[in-house]
Amino acid sequence: MSCICVVSPKGGVGKTTLTANLALAIQQFGLKVSAVDLDSQNALRLHFGLPLAQRGGIASLATTGADWKSALLETDSGIALLPFGTTSRAERQRFNDAILHSDLLSRNLKAIADAPDAILLADLPPGDSAALQAVEALSPVYCVVLMPDSASLSVLPELESGDFLPPAAESRRFFILNLMDLRHHLAQDITQYLRQRLGPRLLGTVHRDEALPEALAAQQPLRLYSPGSAALVDFEHLAQNLYRWLLASQGAESGTSG
């Protein structure tokens, strides 16, 4: 299995939109893709057309002992989705306690993606969280989402020091620069600086594109709503880079084990 966690030290960077569109782009390689929402905002479901009234999800399963894999919802796009669910503060606390003090999260996520052609994408809450600590047991690939702004520059020392992600994850840590609008000189300067500083760890960039919120409002995948959009090209490029890295990583592991 391969697990990709979409994370960010700060909110408002478009993390959930990236998770959904990366899942759809990776699906084009013929892989079995699942998406799990570990963010209590419960917004990932909206990108896959689930109704607002839909309430059940991962948070309630964590305290009942139910099998997470059997609770996956098949969406029209073909992505199997496990939403976070509508929760109270007490339910969120019980969920966090459950995943922090047991192997509940890693065990169930492994079961969901237990196949050679399976890819699991997880949308994590912004900042440090119980979910961020628990997923490291899966040795996932981390896609850290930033924006070309001064706030993202301010968190770089935290990201590079190992305070946000564990030092052991350094070889599995990549960056995505989202909501890029090169009409602004500051964005141009920061983008150039981050390209130089992050080097090959910068997986790619995604343009700010009005087609994204429009596709969400229409409850359609971006590739159907706006097949010529700049953001769609960006997502496909990101998916190709991720897929190549995963193939190379799995090949290296096979060579080592052989």
Residue 158 domain-assigned (yes or no): yes
**Per-residue pLDDT at 257 exceeds 60:** no
Residue percentage of the chain with pLDDT more than 70: 97
Decide: 179 and 210 in contact? Cβ < 8 Å. Answer: no
The sign of the dihedral angle between the CA atoms of 256, 2, 133, 107 is negative
Q: What is the pLDDT of residues 26-82, one digit of tens each?
A: 999 999 999 999 999 999 999 998 887 777 899 888 777 788 998 999 999 999 999
What pLDDT does 113 receive? 87
Residue 27 domain-assigned (yes or no): yes
The count of domains in the chain is 1
Give the domain range for residue 238.
2-253
Round to whole Å and give the CA distance between 69 and 111. 7
The model's pTM is 0.94
Decide: 258 and 249 in contact? Cβ < 8 Å. Answer: no
Q: What is the pLDDT of residues 141-178, one digit of tens each?
A: 999 999 999 999 999 988 888 889 988 899 999 999 99
Round to whole Å and give the CA distance between 102 and 133. 12
Residue 258 domain-assigned (yes or no): no
Residue 21 domain-assigned (yes or no): yes
Round to whole Å and give the CA distance between 163 and 85. 29
CATH number at residue 147: 3.40.50.300
What pLDDT does 254 receive? 56
Cα 26–Cα 74–Cα 1 angle in degrees, nearest 5: 45
pLDDT, greater one: 7 or 52: 7
**Per-residue pLDDT at 235 exceeds 60:** yes
What pLDDT does 221 receive? 87
Beta strands 80-82 and 73-74, pairing class? antiparallel
**Per-residue pLDDT at 131 exceeds 60:** yes
Residue 38 domain-assigned (yes or no): yes
Round to whole Å and give the CA distance between 69 and 63. 15
pLDDT band, very low/low/confident/very high, at 184 (cuts 50, 70, 90): confident
Distance of CA 79 to the CA centre of its chain: 14
pLDDT band, very low/low/confident/very high, at 251 (cuts 50, 70, 90): low
**Secondary structure element (H or E) that encloses residue 80, with its range:** strand 80-82
pLDDT, greater one: 23 or 157: 23
Q: What is the pLDDT of residues 75-123, one digit of tens each?
A: 999 999 999 999 999 999 999 999 999 999 999 999 998 888 999 999 9
Round to whole Å and give the CA distance between 132 and 117. 24
Average pLDDT value for the chain? 91
Q: Among candidates 79, 242, 250, which has minimal Cα distance to 176? A: 242
